[in-house]
Amino acid sequence: MKKTYLYPRFWVVFPVFFLVFIGCNSLLNYPTHSEKSTLGETTNFTSKIKSLPLPNEKLVVGVYKFRDQTGQYKAADNGANWSTAIPQGTTTILIKALEDSRWFRPIERENIGNLLNERQIIRSTRKEYMPNQSNDSGNLPPLLYAGIILEGGVISYDTNVVTGGLGARYFGIGASTQYRQDRITVYLRAVSTQSGEILKTVYTSKTILSTGVSGSFFRYVDAERLMEAEVGITQNEPVQLAVTEAIEKAVYGLIVEGVRDNIWGSRTQDVNKFNKVIGEYNEEQKENDLNVLGKKLADNQRAKVAMYGLAEGTQIRGDYVNAKMHAGAKGGIKYFFSDHFNLDGNASYFIFQNKNIFWREAISTDVNIEYMLLPKSKFTPYIYGGVGSVFYRDKNFFKSQIGGGLEYLVNRTIAFRLNTQYDLGFNDDWDFKVQGTRKDQSVRVGLGMSIYLNRKTAKPLKTTKP
**Segments making up each domain of the chain, as ranges:** 14-26+41-109+146-288, 298-452
Fold observed for domain 14-26+41-109+146-288: Rossmann fold (3.40.50)
At residue 311, the pLDDT reads 92
> CATH for 298-452, among 2.40.160.20, 3.40.190.10, 3.90.420.10, 2.60.40.1080?
2.40.160.20
Residues 6+ apart with CB under 8 A from 113: none
Q: Same CATH topology for 14-26+41-109+146-288 and 298-452?
A: no
Nearest to 441 by CA among 411, 462, 421: 421
Mean pLDDT score, 5-11: 42
Residue spans of alpha helices (H) in 59-211: 90-101, 112-129
- Asked whether the beta carbons of 255 and 221 are under 8 A apart, the reply is no
User: What are the Cα distances from residue 127, in Å, to 133, 362, 434?
Assistant: 7, 102, 112
pLDDT in tens, 35-76: 787 787 888 888 888 888 888 888 899 999 888 888 887 776
Integer Cα distance of 138 and 143 in angstroms: 14
pLDDT digits (tens, 9 = 90+) for 346-378: 999 988 888 777 788 889 999 999 998 878 778
pTM higher than 0.75 for the full model? no
* Residue 390 · residue 397 · CB < 8 Å: yes
Closest CA to 431 of 385, 402, 403, 390: 390
Hey, which residues does 17 pair with through a beta bridge?
A: none
Query: Residue 464 in 3-state DSSP?
Result: coil
Segment 282-327, tens digit of pLDDT: 888 877 765 554 445 545 578 889 999 999 988 888 777 778 888 8
Q: How far is CA 441 from CA 8, 353, 424, 434, in A?
A: 17, 13, 5, 13
CB of 207 closer than 8 Å to CB of 183:
yes
